[in-house]
Amino acid sequence: MDRLTDSDGPARGDEWFVPKWGSLKFRTFIGLLFLPYTGMVLSFAVIGSLLAVPVDYGRLLAIVLVYFFGLGIAAHALDALGSKGVKPWGSVFSRSQLWLLVLLSLATAYGIAGYYMIRYVPLLWVIALLEGFFVFAYNLELFSGRFHTDRWFAFSWGALPVLAGYVMQTNRISLSSLMLAGAMALFSLVEIKASRPYKELKRQTELSVADQTLLQRYEILLKCISLGVILLGTGLLFWRVAV
């Protein structure tokens, strides 16, 4: 089997969220999506949507698609383009291919969002503009990396998706949505705080026994926080549908 290798660093084919089957390009693309972490953000949008009474499930699906294309594909492709030092996914995809992914995905995301923003939810423009800023400023580390920090990560990919889901349903902001956005931002902060040292350890070619144990602990934490949030969003969705 082909390995996922960086030009300057270790293989990433052993990441827990990368499938062990399929072609090299397929496995790289799935890895590029960071599906457990993308799933967290989609769950945040779902959870925010479920605060509304009643829930418009067409709009809920729309906001999930917006974040899947805008974050799951576009932001992660930009991250691969803007990474300093070691490329996270090697050269399986060229820069032009990654830029094509970015442009097509953002066009799809903003096309879906634009329909609703023009016709039903003008307040969503505020969040759409903020997310559009962060998708470039965070992932390309613009402005000397000023916005590539854990706090801005928690705000842009934790708090804002919750508010986006709620605004998509109601075209307003409430105290409960702000509180829930703060809670999900804290979950995102836990995830990114564990992810950074985890990635640093993964880049090392040789690990001591203590570092191997630490790496396993970080991986367990990342699995628990991502899958826990996904199950929370899915469980709440099933509950609302059944009510």
This prediction's pTM: 0.92
Residue boundaries of the structural domains of the chain: 24-242
pLDDT in tens, 78-113: 988 876 655 667 678 889 999 999 999 999 999 999
Q: Provide mean pLDDT across the span 30-35.
A: 92
Give the pLDDT confidence score for residue 199 in this predicted structure: 87
Measured CA angle at 47 (ends 76, 32), to 5 deg = 15
